[in-house]
Chains A and B, each alone.
Chain A
Amino acid sequence: MASINLLIAVCLTYVAFLFLVAFAAERAAARGRGNWLRSPLVYTLSLSIYCTAWTFYGAVGYAARSGMEFITIYLGPSLVMIGWWWFLRKLVRVGRTQRVTSVADLISSRYGKSNVLAIVVTIMAVIGVTPYIALQLQSVTLSLSIFSDPTGTTDGGINLVSAGFWVALGLALFTVLFGTRNLNVNERHNGIVIAIAVEAVVKLVALLAVGIFVVWGVAGGISEMMVRIDNSDIGQWQVDGSRWTALTVLSGAAFLCLPRMFQVLVVENDDERHLHIASWAFPIYLMMMSLFVVPIAVVGLDLLPENSNPDLFVLTVPLSQGQGGLAILSFLGGFSSATSMVIVATLALSTMVSNHVVMPIWLSFQGQGATVSGDVRNVVIFARRVSILVIIALGYLYYRVSGGSGALAAIGLISFIGVAQFLPAMIGGIFWRGATRVGALTGLLVGFAIWIYTSLLPSFGADVVLSSTLLEQGPFGIEWLRPQALFGIKGIDPTVHAVLWSLLLNTSGFIFGSLVSFPKPLERLQGAQFVNVFANSGHAYGWSGSAAQSEDLMVMAQRILGGAEAQKLFRREAQIQGHDRYLPEPTPDFLQRVEREMSASVGAATAHAMISQLVGGASVSVQDLMAVADESAQMLEYSNQLEAKSSELLDAARQLRDVNAKLTQISVQKDAFLSQISHELRTPMTSIRSFSEILRDGHELKASEQTKYASIIHVEAIRLTRLLDDLLDLSVLENGQVSLNTETGSLADVIGHAVTTTQAGAIKQIKIDVSGLDTSIELDTDLDRLAQVFINLISNAQKYCKSSEPKLLIKATKTDNEVCIFLTDNGLPIPVETHALIFEKFSRINDQDGSGAGLGLTICREIMIRLGGEIDYVPASTGNRFVLRLPA
């Protein structure tokens, strides 16, 4: 029997050895001889912190209680590793390119560097992991107690409480020493990683040694062992499919989401290729860890008394066989499992707490984050150290309060379900660009609330937090709200129940929240960066050309990165930019680089906030928005809109041009009109005035001369009157003030009247052919106005038809609802370009002798409109044709 004193001595030696290893590794890394520290093997071994004391001791207990089901705990991570290229590779790439420091940082960074999200995730992680840390402390003290009471039936004689305290303190010291040496996570924790790699070897060796002893030393060989297993209860356990599925999914999720796993998987990852090797090496490690679980459990159940704690078979079986040395090795394996987990878990949690809780609060108290006095580094390191102590203290407190209740595996599972709530936001974050901050927050909070209600609180047992009445009848007697039978789903395993509801509602909340909310530009940008990490690796959003002063930037960077590191960074950048000065220009690229460097120390959200303070205001530039807008569909839509807009603009421009051209034309016409009207009025007036003066001045005129001149005056006066009549007529017609005198009459009569009127006293005669006129056509219209139209058209033909034998052919046809009248002359067709102007005022298209006022056709058109008909000009093959249409 190994004495407690010996055990403690071995323990202390082992711890001293770990310190030494860690220290040596740190030194080697500092001297640049640490390449071997970053081998795929070390990476794979560091992943073994997945195997905590829960796995080391608990798996056997689990097997003794529930048979083969413990396999699921190994199956989940193995599947994740084997399928690494699907999710893990992307996660690691995102983590590396975005300099992610923790799960909280990943989620916050993805959803627009949201501090709220970071804080929520941090709090959830602390709540979820604290029981797990307590579990490790419990396992260490429990295993210590075994050596004073080998049956494991009582807590033993040594002061377990103080043992737990010293273990906690030792772990805290180790973590502080090796976890907070370097602030920049980029430099990584060589000492810690190598220490946990050593511990990984120790725990594997220990478990294999116990297993080999059990199979060959106790059972007497493999075949005898198989017989024993067949005879034991373990072979008889029913396999519960839903529980197997749920547990496999759960352990896979936890493997990705546990802060400590994220730390070693992503943050401490040095080379993506290591993942490739770990993808098969780590499952082999897990397989070896699980190889002897069943034999140890079976032998333990056979050899040890009925009430022995199966969680401690790994220790108690060798002890019961008098194998003190093996027991000590086994103890060291358990101790390794517990310590490595606590160290990395607290390290990861402290990073989250200091970066996402302490630093933002501190910064907000400081006001101007970049210009405060003092070294931010010191604050961060101090915050991180305090966080480590507080988290371990919390674990110790939980252990003391819970009093070591519950099987190890149960506590582990509860922790798993808690951290698994990060999964939807993580997977959605790197695969779905539509995922938003609101969605992530909704999912996380819903999932976490359900976890607390259905899993964490009931785990304390009835009447501790939740009353037994509430557990059995639901709050306020509402049965469907019972913590372990939500929505009336009864009779399923509590673990499956909690996994099902928490993840289902979490995912639903996440998707729903993402769909109904609209992401901010930075979220969209980060979303694009994360989802398309393989496409545009290494390019986070860019800072816009900014007002940031290099000096300020330097001051801030020195505080975060440390003087030497910051100066190196700035000097290098200045050289890249190609000037001798020490300070580079604060280009967007450089700002981005500084932010990334800083985010490795203080987290993306904080670094972003600090740079924002310097750059001032706008955190997203047009360039950033353009990067967001690269979403092809959006671009397409946008460009379509632009196209539509520009064609609209073109259209409008063309319309404007048309209108302008028309206005110009009208303006020209107006000028012409004024000249014209002046000419039309002044010409007859000239004759009138001149001849009236001649008559007045009484030149000795012959009587015939007197008569002639008087009649000229008379004719010109009439001409003047007619012109004024036309103008007034047109004005009335155009203003729509005309009153129609509707009568029924024969079209032939109307045309006949017009012909008579125009031919009488006309200087130039035209031959008018009305033989094609249907004399039976009767019209119900203003006959005088219609006659006016014909008079105008006929006199136009008289005046302008330049044919040697001027002819005008008038025809009419009648259909059911329309009378069509055609007037066709044999003159020269008017030029095509003036067709559109023909009915405009004073257009005088063909008026070469200036005798017309240019109002006739305008009046015709106005009259036809008033009569409900229309008039068109049609160039005929032999001349000009006007077509008049009237309702029949």
Chain B
Amino acid sequence: MKKRVLLVEDEPNIIEAITFLLSREGWHVDTQTDGATAVKRVRELQPDLLMLDHMLPGKSGLDILIELRSDDQFLALPILMLTARGQMRDRAEAEAAGVSRFMTKPFSNTEVLAAVRDLTRN
């Protein structure tokens, strides 16, 4: 059975790039562009990995992260955050909220794949 990743991202070209990369690694990629319904989508899909953009329409990536981590069910869910906002504060906030990995756009494909592998080793 394929591992499932949920990609929450509103930029179509970035969705396309990540989907391309992870599919080739054997992932089943689900995508979600709206922040407001992202948590609900996680509950439905129960993915093995969550990739989360920071700046999303409806609800910010940070808020989604906080909401998920407040639920015991998602304490262990690997969450990889990708942000285009170059602010140190965002990283600090995300780490405090329990992000598994925080990466800044633009990213290197190799690094993203290494991070995904690292987070889902077990």
A and B held together in a complex: yes
Contact B106 A689 (CB under 8 A): yes
Among B14, B58, B109, which residue has its beta carbon within 8 angstroms of that of A697? B109
Among B10, B18, B87, which residue has its beta carbon within 8 angstroms of that of A849? B10
Tell me, in angstroms, the Cα distance from A118 to B24 when the chains sit together: 115
Closest to A849 in B: B57
Q: Is the C-beta of A134 less than 8 angstroms from some C-beta in chain B?
A: no
Tell me, in angstroms, the Cα distance from A708 to B13 when the chains sit together: 11
Shortest CB-to-CB span from B29 to chain A, Å, is 14
Q: Which residues of A contact B84 (CB under 8 A)?
A: 678-679, 681-683, 686
Closest to A847 in B: B57
Tell me, in angstroms, the Cα distance from A792 to B113 when the chains sit together: 40
Contact A687 B85 (CB under 8 A): no
Closest to B33 in A: A849
Q: What class of interface size applies to chain B in its complex with A?
A: 20 to 34
Contact A850 B57 (CB under 8 A): yes
Contact B17 A678 (CB under 8 A): no
Q: Which residues of B contact A848 (CB under 8 A)?
A: 57-58
Contact B17 A694 (CB under 8 A): yes
Q: Which residues of A contact B85 (CB under 8 A)?
A: 675, 678-679, 682
Contact B106 A690 (CB under 8 A): yes
Closest to B54 in A: A679
Contact B14 A689 (CB under 8 A): no
Tell me, in angstroms, the Cα distance from A683 to B82 when the chains sit together: 11
Q: Is the C-beta of A685 less than 8 angstroms from some C-beta in chain B?
A: yes
Q: Which residues of B contact A689 (CB under 8 A)?
A: 106-108
Q: Is the C-beta of B72 less than 8 angstroms from some C-beta in chain A?
A: no
Tell me, in angstroms, the Cα distance from A699 to B20 when the chains sit together: 10
Q: Is the C-beta of B117 less than 8 angstroms from some C-beta in chain A?
A: no
Given contacts A679-B85, A850-B55, contact A691 B11 (CB under 8 A): no
Contact B20 A694 (CB under 8 A): yes
Q: Which residues of A contact B14 (CB under 8 A)?
A: 683, 686-687, 690
Contact A674 B10 (CB under 8 A): no
Tell me, in angstroms, the Cα distance from A863 to B27 when the chains sit together: 50
Tell me, in angstroms, the Cα distance from A688 to B109 when the chains sit together: 11
Shortest CB-to-CB span from A682 to chain B, Å, is 4
**Which A687-707 residues have a C-beta within 8 angstroms of B?**
687-691, 693-694, 697, 699
Among A675, A681, A685, which residue has its beta carbon within 8 angstroms of that of B87? A675
Tell me, in angstroms, the Cα distance from A685 to B84 when the chains sit together: 10
Tell me, in angstroms, the Cα distance from A671 to B58 when the chains sit together: 20
Q: Is the interface of A mostly helix, strand, loop or mixed?
A: helix
Shortest CB-to-CB span from B112 to chain A, Å, is 8
Q: Is the C-beta of B105 less than 8 angstroms from some C-beta in chain A?
A: yes
Q: Which residues of B contact A675 (CB under 8 A)?
A: 85-87
Tell me, in angstroms, the Cα distance from A849 to B108 when the chains sit together: 25
Q: Is the C-beta of B115 less than 8 angstroms from some C-beta in chain A?
A: no
**Which B69-94 residues have a C-beta within 8 angstroms of A?**
84-87
Q: Which residues of A contact B58 (CB under 8 A)?
A: 848
Q: Mark A644-678, 1 if CB is under 8 A from B, else 0.
A: 00000000000000000000000000010011001
Q: Mark A696-723, 1 if CB is under 8 A from B, else 0.
A: 0101000000000000100110000000
Q: Is the C-beta of B66 less than 8 angstroms from some C-beta in chain A?
A: no
Q: Which residues of B contact A690 (CB under 8 A)?
A: 14, 17-18, 21, 106-107, 109
Contact B106 A686 (CB under 8 A): yes
Shortest CB-to-CB span from A206 to chain B, Å, is 115
Tell me, in angstroms, the Cα distance from A626 to B11 when the chains sit together: 75
Tell me, in angstroms, the Cα distance from A697 to B110 when the chains sit together: 10
Contact A686 B87 (CB under 8 A): no
Contact B108 A683 (CB under 8 A): no
Given contacts A716-B13, A849-B57, contact A678 B86 (CB under 8 A): yes
Tell me, in angstroms, the Cα distance from A690 to B13 when the chains sit together: 10
Shortest CB-to-CB span from B13 to chain A, Å, is 4
Closest to B18 in A: A690
Q: Mark B100-122, 1 if CB is under 8 A from A, else 0.
A: 00001111111000000000000
**Residue of A681, A687, A697, A715 with most chain B CB atoms under a 10 A cut-off:** A687
Shortest CB-to-CB span from A706 to chain B, Å, is 12
Contact A683 B105 (CB under 8 A): yes
Tell me, in angstroms, the Cα distance from A848 to B20 when the chains sit together: 27
Tell me, in angstroms, the Cα distance from A849 to B9 when the chains sit together: 11
Contact B10 A688 (CB under 8 A): no
Q: Which residues of B contact A849 (CB under 8 A)?
A: 10, 57
Given contacts A682-B86, A693-B108, contact A712 B57 (CB under 8 A): no
**Which A706-749 residues have a C-beta within 8 angstroms of B?**
712, 715-716
Q: Is the C-beta of B44 less than 8 angstroms from some C-beta in chain A?
A: no
Shortest CB-to-CB span from B108 to chain A, Å, is 7
Q: Which residues of B contact A715 (CB under 8 A)?
A: 13
Tell me, in angstroms, the Cα distance from A678 to B86 when the chains sit together: 6
- Beyond the given pairs A682-B86, A690-B106, 5 more chain A to chain B contacts, judged by CB atoms under 8 angstroms and listed by A's residue number, are A675-B85, A675-B87, A689-B108, A690-B107, A693-B110
A-B contact pairs, 16 of them (CB 8 A): A671-B87, A675-B86, A682-B86, A683-B105, A685-B105, A686-B17, A687-B13, A689-B107, A689-B108, A690-B14, A690-B109, A691-B13, A694-B20, A694-B21, A712-B16, A850-B57
B residues contacting A by CB (< 8 A) are 10-11, 13-14, 16-18, 20-21, 24, 55, 57-58, 84-87, 104-110
